[in-house]
Amino acid sequence: MPKIPFNAPMSATSPEFQSLSSSPTWSPKYAPPYPAASDPVTVSRRTSGTPRNSIDDTHTEESHKLAEINHQIVATLTELMNTECIRNDEKQRAWVQSRLMEAEHQIRRERRRHSSNASSDFASAIAQQLELGLNTSKTWA
């Protein structure tokens, strides 16, 4: 196994530089814990010309793009943290660590927000169905 010189500066041909300059690949382990909204729950009846689903689909698509970008940032910063030059420079290491923590917090916030929105939409859909069921079953009034 070839040894990498730890005190050598990174050059364009060094493995560290090539690793950092390449785009990180998406991994299923970074996939969000929620399913894609291919069939969003309809909460209310829409009579306007713009269907609600197109708005929800656009928002969901943008959320997934943002989540993917954040995961790529985390992967790149994690790789950077593992390079010898960052490990040896306390100031740079602190900067990378803070950016890494910010990116991870952003991912958690988005995940919580999405989970909260999905729960709210689901609860609203159930309430609407119960309301519709009660209105149609009142044949004696």
What DSSP letter does each residue of 59-83 carry, written as one string?
HHHHHHHHHHHHHHHHHHHHHHHTS
pTM of the entire structure?
0.43
pLDDT of residue 63: 80
Q: Which one has a higher pLDDT value, 71 or 130?
A: 71
| 105 domain residue, yes or no | yes
Tell me the helices (H) and strands (E) count for the chain, helix number first: 4, 0
**Would you say residue 5 lies in a domain?**
no
Q: Cα dihedral sign for 135, 137, 139, 141?
A: negative
Inside any domain, residue 71: yes
Whether residue 118 is contained in a domain is answered as yes
Full residue range of the structural domain in which residue 74 is found: 54-135
* Residue 20, C-beta contacts closer than 8 angstroms, at least 6 positions apart: 10, 76, 79, 80, 83
pLDDT band at 44 (very low <50, low <70, confident <90, very high): very low
103-124 mean pLDDT: 78
The model's confidence at residue 91, banded by pLDDT at 50, 70 and 90, is: very high
In a domain, 99, yes or no: yes
Residue 35's pLDDT is 45
Tell whether 25 is covered by a domain: no
State the greatest distance between any 2 C-alpha atoms of the chain, in Å, as a whole number: 87
Across the chain, mean pLDDT equals 70
The proportion of the chain whose per-residue pLDDT surpasses 70, expressed as a percent, equals 45
- Output 37 or 117, whichever has higher pLDDT: 117
**Domain contains 81:** yes
Give the lowest-confidence range in 6-15, 38-47, 64-73.
38-47
22 is a domain residue: no
What is the rounded average pLDDT of the residues 14-37?
Answer: 51
Q: Which residue has the higher pLDDT, 53 or 86?
A: 86
- State the total domains in the chain: 1
